[in-house]
């Protein structure tokens, strides 16, 4: 069951625009991180405080139908705010290209996180630099189809 409610676009213009291009093109445009050619997915969450629908692009890290959501925010000292949305409501929607599906988000730790962290860095090597940049352990969620 897709998330319903009032959509609140990101205050960050490039994020808002990428989401709009991705969705309005049916997942055929805006699907990479700028000109890197590295694939991006769109994660839809419910705001932990506002209850509004929030959408953010993330790097695509996929393995056998499951995905990782890496709360890196470029190695910033604090978690991205969407981290708290997933902790408060694990029901999310993921758009990968033209495919949208309901998923459940679960924060992972230990060996499971180490396995997904390897996949994440393989998909987007700068994640390793982001982790070097910050004392916080960058949270990783696994997204599993409902
Ligand atoms: C700026 C802030 O965004 P954020 O949730 O901290 O997320 C920051 C970034 O992670 C987010 O912009 C990502 O899309 C950036 N980003 C990636 N960010 C990542 O962390 N990982 C990635 O792999 C990643 C890839 C990526 C690819 C393309 C691209 O364009 C952006 C990419 C934001 O939207 N703040 C809103 C509030 C958003 C929100 O969800 N509010 C909650 C409250 C949550 C709470 O405070 O508890 C609510 O509505 O209730 C605001 O200030 O009004």
pLDDT, tens digit (0-9, with 9 covering 90-100), for 56-83: 999 999 999 999 999 999 999 999 999 9
Q: Which positions ≥6 away from 124 have C-beta within 8 Å?
A: 33, 38, 59, 61, 70
Ligand 1 environment, Cβ below 6 A: 10-12, 14-15, 18, 33, 40, 47-50, 52, 54, 56-59, 70-73, 80-82, 84-85
* 10 CA closest ligand 1 atom index: 34
Q: How far apart are CA 121 and CA 116, in angstroms?
A: 9
Report the pLDDT averaged over residues 3-17. 95
Separation of 33 CA from ligand 1 center, angstroms? 15
pLDDT per position as a tens digit, 15-53: 999 999 999 999 999 999 988 999 999 999 999 999 999
Tokens at residue 3, please?
């998330």
Q: Taken in order 64, 67, 70, 74, is the CA torsion positive or negative?
A: positive
The answer to ipTM > 0.95 is: yes
């Amino acid at each position: 069951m897709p998330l319903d409610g009032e959509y609140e676009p990101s205050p960050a213009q490039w994020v808002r625009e990428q989401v709009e291009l991705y969705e309005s093109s049916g997942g055929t445009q805006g699907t990479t991180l700028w000109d890197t050619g590295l694939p991006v997915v769109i994660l839809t969450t419910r705001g932990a405080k506002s209850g509004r629908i929030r959408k953010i692009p993330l790097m695509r890290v996929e393995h056998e139908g499951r995905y990782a959501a890496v709360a890196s925010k470029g190695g910033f000292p604090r978690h991205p705010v969407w981290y708290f949305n997933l902790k408060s409501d694990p029901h999310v929607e993921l758009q990968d290209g033209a495919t949208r599906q309901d998923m459940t988000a679960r924060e992972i730790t230990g060996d499971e996180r180490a396995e997904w962290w390897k996949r994440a860095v393989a998909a987007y090597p700068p994640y390793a630099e982001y982790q070097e940049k910050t004392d916080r352990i960058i949270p990783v969620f696994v997204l599993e189809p409902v």
